[in-house]
Copies of this chain bind each other. A is one copy, B any other.
Amino acid sequence: MSSPSRRDLLRGVGIAGVSLAAGAGLSEAITSRRGDHVGASRVSFRGVHQSGITTPAPDYLSLIAFDLDVESATDIRDLLNAWSAVVADLVAGRPVGPEQSPSLSPRDTGEALELGASSLTVTIGYGPSLFERPDTSHLPRPRHLAPLPTFVGDNLDNRLGGGDVVFQICSQDAQVNFHAVHSLERLAQGLAHLRYWHRGFGRTSAVGGKQESTRNLLGFKDGTNNLQSHHVDALADVVWVRDGREPSWLQHGTYLIHRKIRTFIETWSAQSLDTQEATIGRFRASGAPLTGKHEHDPPDLNAVDQYGNYVIPTSAHIRSAAPSSNHGMRILRRGFSYADGIDSHSGQFDAGLHFICFQQNPLAQFAAIQQTLSQNDALMNYLTHLSSTVAACPRGLAAHEGWGDQLFA
């Protein structure tokens, strides 16, 4: 479900190939990249699972949340249905429609015309507060939908997390991403308002089977040991909800966690390479564990040097994060870097990581791992968590189904 059609890819690259064979310069290469093979990449919207979870992560992220201003179940249902109808247009690269008279405001706001779908995915999740309203409290509530406990190192701003309805919006083009945010917000006018809007770039975790690991803003390859989209059995054990006690709309769905994590980049960059590598437990250049030579060599957490010290230090990040340090618990990560400018208080970069992960049970999986990290991980010296969001993501939509009908079924 996560691949564009062969024909789209071939057509896009075919055009790029023709223009370059004709001796075109940089400008045409950029144009064709935007207009053709990137633009033409479409991700299916409907299916068993929502897209944007095991879909290969593209370059741009918006993570937004709305708080509802309407109360009645009918109004909430209608808004959710309207959102899914518009998302079906957006992810197909179609203008929001139908067109109407020029004496009215256009339904499509226009900024992404000609840019195509650009691998856009829009993934919806419901926050705990959605189920605490008079007209929604009768709905079956997801069993594990609750705010996370507080961890050492948390410095949370409530306004940057939570929300009734959360959207993870990923795309290969930043303007397509903006257009999706804009279109969702427009439909919500008078019905719901944006609570926050986080923006990220440069995925930091490989998710697709053949994606290479990329580097985070600390300069290290990230997500090397992440689950991959072809690990179907592991995903069924880790990510997809299959628990008869959960609401039916959550079967084949999952729980999303988002943490905005600021990294103290200036402090980190001032550390020696030795210190950086001991903190992570990997070599910076290759991404290999300190006990290996290649990025994907499995770390040997028991290896000791000639003095009997662990080669991967007890405080190394990869030791604390390893399943073997967390009773085998795993999560599916999907992170993006962020750079929001300069912190006005310190004059330092306001930059770091939008950590996103998916799991069956936030408390048993993410919170257990985060508890280990907050107590043992040397990397905690270089970061602080600024926000926390938990949301229950429904299964994918069937043909002609809307998010409102699915939730209120």
Q: Which A residues form the contact surface with B (CB < 8 A)?
A: 2-4, 6, 9-10, 13, 16-17, 20, 23-31, 33-35, 37-38, 41, 43, 56, 58-59, 102-106, 108-114, 119, 172-175, 178, 181-182, 185-186, 189, 193-194, 196-199, 201-202, 208-212, 214-220, 265-266, 269-274, 276-277, 284-285, 337, 339-342, 347, 349, 351
Contact = CB atoms under 8 A, between A and B. Distances in A.
A269 B182 contact: yes
B337 A210 contact: no
A102 B2 CA distance: 42
Among A33, A103, A112, the most chain B Cβ lie within 10 Å of the Cβ of A33
Given A105-B271, A105-B273, A218-B111, A25 B3 contact: yes
Given A38-B33, A218-B111, A341 B197 contact: yes
Given A35-B212, A174-B201, A199-B341, 9 more contacts: A4-B25, A4-B26, A25-B56, A27-B211, A59-B174, A113-B219, A175-B202, A186-B266, A196-B341
Contacts of A270: 105
A176 to B, nearest CB: 9
A198 B2 CA distance: 34
A196 B17 CA distance: 40
B13 A30 contact: no
A180 to B, nearest CB: 12
Contact of A102 (B23, B58, B209, B273): B273
A111 B30 contact: no
A342 B215 contact: no
Given A13-B16, A274-B103, A269 B186 contact: yes
Nearest to A99: B273
A278 to B, nearest CB: 10
Contacts of A109: 219, 265, 269
A96 to B, nearest CB: 11
Given A13-B17, A25-B208, A196 B342 contact: yes
B178 A217 contact: yes
A7 B4 CA distance: 29
A112 to B, nearest CB: 8
A221 to B, nearest CB: 9
Contacts of A193: 347
Nearest to A24: B210
B110 A219 contact: yes
A254 B198 CA distance: 36
B20 A272 contact: no
